[in-house]
Structure 1
């Protein structure tokens, strides 16, 4: 079986399109709430916002699915465009996840403030979208060159790097993703160890974490020198509680199972497993792994939205409460106007 539409079941197509719609909904949720709600514009959320812009394109072309695969003798324009866009935006989420891991490292070890982190974002954007764009563009030039290397072509569930270039898939997509996964893992391990040691030292000194905490707004250029910085759920929102001993001025952080390094790479695991299986079996996909590939790959936007809400849960609760109160007040005002009108006209 080759990487053609005939090798894809209706179940795979349905899974890919449903997952793509969920991913699109998640990305649109992040973008809309980030733009409309200033209290959500925190450093880590900004990185999720940037990656969601790319996920919009990625999930759109995942939704196209096998529609992009041309019939024999048909035009390659849609297939080539689909492959080009998927190549760009399938690598960039892992780069953004690495950026989040770097931010956490800089906060814990270098005591970076939100303003300093914000200055890094143009560099992150240039690298995280620029490098995948350069790779995809080179492939496109080879694809349309007179030699007609045909880099982009059918890839089981959609158009991407053609199955005859399996080594390119590994070298330019899955290989870098796995390396970035390892980098994130190492960064979070060393920061986690630092956090635990600092927490133990604070507790030995008689300082707990149950005191009231004042939240600094995003963009605060400095932290007072006698305050401790606390980060929860691997967030980059800064908060502080007053302590009297300058020797205990240190950053503390707690991590959780939803740490950002998880969300950028989980959806790529079935894809990588499927491609390795196909390399070892003459291009024949494994049906069960293909089902997982179709269901999980387009879910990036939804996974991002879940992490986004989890890291911003207090702000989301406040927004929901304010919105509910606003709706209730509008309903109450309309009810009173109707009652006044009835009383006026008898």
Structure 2
């Protein structure tokens, strides 16, 4: 029989099946995010770290959605209904809080120049904020009841949550702060968008997916290059450096490795009897990403990709919460009535939060995902992360700035 007089048995069955199917999809998405983030270094980016943390909240929402109609059918005082309601209140709005934290990071990166390491130090505070803010009301509501309205937690159309008699608490402890977070994030993205717009001519490649990824954990190493006469054994007497290369998929054969080098185009070295001027460096070593160059001169380069990905996460949040918010407004305007269309949209979108996060995660780590697929299906060697080592045993040296970079391909040549 239907749990609400406004819904037929067929409608309720459609809602229940949708909740469970979409929850299964999201659980698979959470598993993929967790496995790749924890086991594959190239997925370990600052923005991915927050998506990984948000996965715990998505899992809680999926558990509540899998329970589906079992909670309401068990009765408002049953442990199943109370547990389901706790999970909904605890985890449903966590993605909104993570979007808020991502917006804060965008602000800190664009306007305060925060680095990757500084972001890492904020992670624990974000975890406490997102899950602590949800936990307190979720736990308190378990013990709150009133003679005229009963317990706070009870049947709420598609599952157990805050009951209709306590409808105001839904707005005060979920919808209100979700939309405050959305509004705050929007203000930051508008301000960041103005900055991007002002530099759009310089950053013409900002939205180009083939641009280098400026927001990965980068370690800058001072490398000393020594100029010295070769011994009788020639170049073969020098130890081969360990190298690493950037992830590119162009099939054209090129050099074995490459690096982002910031050096002058010519330089000199004093030997015992004369000064030798070396020719200009090859053009390949003089090429630098225009996006990175402009970003380094103006705004923290780590902000560019972070803002783009955080905004995608924000869009996914908007897609999820607009239909549900309309449904809440409808319930206020028409007390006692239930819209099947709006209820079905909520049951469809809420369990899919982790799937939308996976879409953002894959977009963020597209090259890493391509490498992972090659590893799984074509036997590629996967990831090898090393640092360039160059021998330093002379008196005259030239300093170069090289960035530690990752090899993301298999054994195929790495090209620009």
Scaled to the shorter chain, the TM-score interval is 0.7 to 0.9
| 1:182 paired residue number | 183
Partners of 2:209 and 2:328 in 1: how far apart? Answer: 49
Structure with higher Rg: it is 2
3-state DSSP of counterpart to 1:160? strand
Partners of 2:196 and 2:211 in 1: how far apart? Answer: 20
CA shift in 2, pair 1:176/1:119, >3 Å: same
Partners of 1:302 and 1:197 in 2: how far apart? Answer: 34
Contact 2:99–2:314, Cα closer than 8 Å, also in 1: yes
Post-superposition offset of 1:39: 0.9
1:283 aligns with 2:333: no
1:63 aligns with 2:66: yes
Deviation string for 1:78-116 (max 9, x for gaps)? 100100111010111100011111112211111211100
CA shift in 2, pair 1:127/1:154, >3 Å: same
CA shift in 2, pair 1:33/1:210, >3 Å: closer
Correspondences of 1:175-214 after superposition (within 5 Å): 175-200=176-201, 213=212
Partners of 2:29 and 2:137 in 1: how far apart? Answer: 27
1:33 aligns with 2:36: yes
Equivalent of 2:346 in 255, 278, 293: 293
| 2:96 paired residue number | 94
Partners of 1:84 and 1:246 in 2: how far apart? Answer: 45
| 2:297 paired residue number | 248
CA shift in 2, pair 1:102/1:171, >3 Å: same
CA shift in 2, pair 1:244/1:124, >3 Å: closer
Contact 2:20–2:68, Cα closer than 8 Å, also in 1: yes
| 1:126 paired residue number | 128
Post-superposition offset of 1:62: 0.8
Equivalent of 1:12 in 10, 15, 24: 15
Partners of 1:215 and 1:157 in 2: how far apart? Answer: 43
Contact 1:51–1:92, Cα closer than 8 Å, also in 2: yes
3-state DSSP of counterpart to 2:93? helix
CA shift in 2, pair 1:257/1:101, >3 Å: closer
Post-superposition offset of 1:198: 3.0
Contact 2:99–2:310, Cα closer than 8 Å, also in 1: no
Contact 1:177–1:265, Cα closer than 8 Å, also in 2: no
CA shift in 2, pair 1:222/1:172, >3 Å: farther
CA shift in 2, pair 1:62/1:153, >3 Å: same
Correspondences of 1:1-346 after superposition (within 5 Å): 4=4, 7=7, 9-71=12-74, 75-143=77-145, 149-200=150-201, 213=212, 217-218=216-217, 220=219, 241=289, 248-251=297-300, 253=304, 255=308, 259-326=312-379
Unaligned 5+ residue runs, structure 1? 204-208, 224-238, 330-346
CA shift in 2, pair 1:222/1:133, >3 Å: farther
Contact 1:115–1:221, Cα closer than 8 Å, also in 2: no
Contact 2:19–2:66, Cα closer than 8 Å, also in 1: yes
Post-superposition offset of 1:314: 1.4
Deviation string for 1:36-83 (max 9, x for gaps)? 2111011000000001012112101111111111456x8521100100
Mean Cα displacement is larger for which, 270-279 or 39-48? 270-279
Mean Cα displacement is larger for which, 210-219 or 114-123? 210-219
Contact 1:88–1:132, Cα closer than 8 Å, also in 2: yes
Partners of 1:274 and 1:249 in 2: how far apart? Answer: 44
Partners of 1:200 and 1:39 in 2: how far apart? Answer: 31
CA shift in 2, pair 1:75/1:137, >3 Å: closer
3-state DSSP of counterpart to 1:259? helix
Q: Which has the higher helix share?
A: 1
3-state DSSP of counterpart to 1:69? helix
TM-score by length of 2: 0.66
